Structure formats: structure tokens, C-alpha cells
Amino acid sequence: MENKGLLFIPDISGFTKFVTQTEIEHSRLIIQELLEVLVNSNEIGLKISEIEGDAILFYRFGEPPPLQEVYRQVEKMFCEFHRRLIAYDHRRYCLCRACHTANDLTLKIISHYGEFTNYSVQNFHKLIGKDIIIAHQLLKNDISTHEYWLVTHNLLPDQSPSGIKNWMEWKSSAKETENGEVRYHFTQLSPLRDEIATEPPPRVDLSKKSKVFTVSREYDTDFITLFHASGDFTHRHEWQEGVKKVEMLDHYLPRVGMRCKAELATGEVLIYSSSYSYTPEKLEFTETNDSDKTITAYTIDILGEKRSRLTLDYYIDDNPITSTLFNLFRKKKLKESFERSLRKLDTFAMNLVIPA
């Protein structure tokens, strides 16, 4: 049955409002990450025909799959999508509107069975057929909410869906298309949110660490700009002494858990963001050096609309031998290096332009 198969379209709802009312660059990166989550959640051998802005057209040739199998895929994608949004909301650094409202995005999924085929133009592979058109038209319907699973009668012709989940309340409707009336069932997916287990934001345990020095400096800039300048790994080589280059290893936007490989004069080190907290009075975050397990704690105090103070506390393992060696051979030189870096950060922060 190479001319018949399953069409499966997860569509991110709220996308248009999201990109028109928020910062374009950050919303683009968030949508990109969420689309990758959907692609990586594919468990039933679906192939990708195309990615269409905020939706992915998946397909699989063959007999109609059992509805339970399709549901497992729906559940997987929906839960992974929202799990990522919840985790980002708990761990994000950025305070812009795009990042702040990302958790309002949601997902609807269209599943349809019909006739179609594929064709190629150079390196591009496309699907063609009336049921491709129908599947896309079903994204525009009269369902008032935007968090549902829609199943056409082509996929389930002889019965109403039942026996999948007790909380499901199925309704029926139809859509007029140029190919005739398309009947479908749909159910809300919102109750699945209650089944999503989320991890609490990680916390840094400093009980086994010893603070060996503190450096601080005040800046004539707002705390958000200072935060982006100091907390974004991609800017680190601009102001921190000894950092030649930074390579991001994962994550598109700054958050707890992001990692980078920093190239220093002494070699490469892996650094990751290990905690973050924000109040209207101050903003705090920590970074951990994965090589020697040292922790740098950043505290930004808000002194005024255009006045902020950055304080760096440096922690090492709390044991007598490590402390003695550090105090003898590294403390003075490293503290002076951080002080010079904070002075250099003054110039960089003053010239940094970030989204409003």
C-alpha cells in the first residue's frame, strides 16, 4: 500500500501571537527547540515530509495503525513538548517576553489516513495527494480550544474512539472541503498535563565548599543588561581575562544546565550553569567548572534604574590540603584576574544591546 498511509501533524498553537508580540529571535529559538523535541519523540517510525513553521508533517505508508498505537505517539509528543516548556520556565535565565510567555504555547495533533504519494525535486522530497490537502485543511476547524487530538473517520471509520483513557471526552464534528465533507472525532489533551512529572530546579550544595575570595564592582547600567553581559556564555571571551573562545555545547538560550567549552591559555575546560534565582531586589546564579569542581557564584544587586552591583564569590572544595595549596599558589593571582575582568566587563556591558 505505497499510495496509502497515516498522516500525522503536530501543530504548535499560539505561535502566530507568540512571534508577533514577543522578541523574534528568542521566540524563533524556542520554536526551533520545541520542533526538535517533537522530532525526537517519534516512536512509531514516522517520516518527515516537511516542517512548516510551527507544524511538522509526518507520514507513514501502510495499513491504518491501531488507534492505541497512534495515541501512544500523541501522548509521547504532547508530554515531551510540555515537559520541555515547564523545565525551561523553571530554569531559564532570560526575562524577555518571549521566554516569559513560552509556557503559554500548546499543541494540537491531527491524525488522518488517506491516499498520497511522494516525489522528489533535486534534494527535496514532497508529498502530493488530495488527502495531504485535507490534512492541512483540518488544522483550521471550529474547535474552540487549541489543545486537542483530532482523528478522522478515514482512520477510524466504523466506531467512536473508546477505551484509551478514562478521562477522554470524545466529540464529533465535520469540515466541508473541496473534496467533500470530512468527519472526525476529537478530544481535549489538557488532562495529560497533570500526568507530567517535572524535576525541581537543581540547587547548588555549598556545604562542602569553602569561599576563598570575593570580588565586587558597581556599574552604571541596568541589572538586565549586566545579567546578559555576565551570564551569557557566548559573551564570556569579551570580558573575562584568559578566555580565548567559548563553544556552546547544548541549549539555544541561557538556562540552568547549559554547558560550554571554554578555551583558556592553560587548555580547555567544561563549564555549566548550576543554579539561578531571581527576586525584584537581586538576581543570583552559579557556574561550576566540571574539571576542578570550583563554583563561581554571581550576585547582581539592583541599586537603581541604571545602577547595579555584581559580586563574584569563588568556592573550592572544603578540605585543608586543597585550601592551603590554593591560598599559597593561586588565590592572589586569580583574584586579581577576576578584578581586572570586572573592570573590562564595565566597558562591554555599557555597549551591549539586548532586546527591550
How many distinct helices (H) and strands (E) make up the chain? Answer: 9, 16
Where does residue 186 rank: exposed (0-12), middle (13-18), buried (19+ CB within 10 A)?
A: buried
pLDDT of residue 356: 55
- Average pLDDT (218-228) is 92
| Percentage of residues in the chain having pLDDT higher than 90 | 64
What is the torsional sign of CA 285, 217, 249, 41? positive
C-alpha cell at 131: 488527502
- pLDDT tens for 152-199 read 999 987 677 877 888 999 999 999 888 789 999 999 999 999 888 877
The full set of domains in the chain, from first to last, is 4-195 (3.30.70.1230), 209-351 (3.30.530.20)
pTM of the model: 0.83
Higher pLDDT, 146 or 159: 146
What value does the mean pLDDT take over residues 238-242? 95
Task: For 291-344, write each residue's pLDDT tens digit.
Answer: 889 999 999 999 998 999 999 999 999 999 989 999 999 999 999 999 999 999
Of 59-68, 117-126, 240-249, the least confident: 117-126
Percent of the chain at pLDDT above 70? Answer: 98
DSSP-derived secondary structure letter, 161: -
pLDDT of residue 115: 94
Q: What number is the average pLDDT over the span 252-279?
A: 89
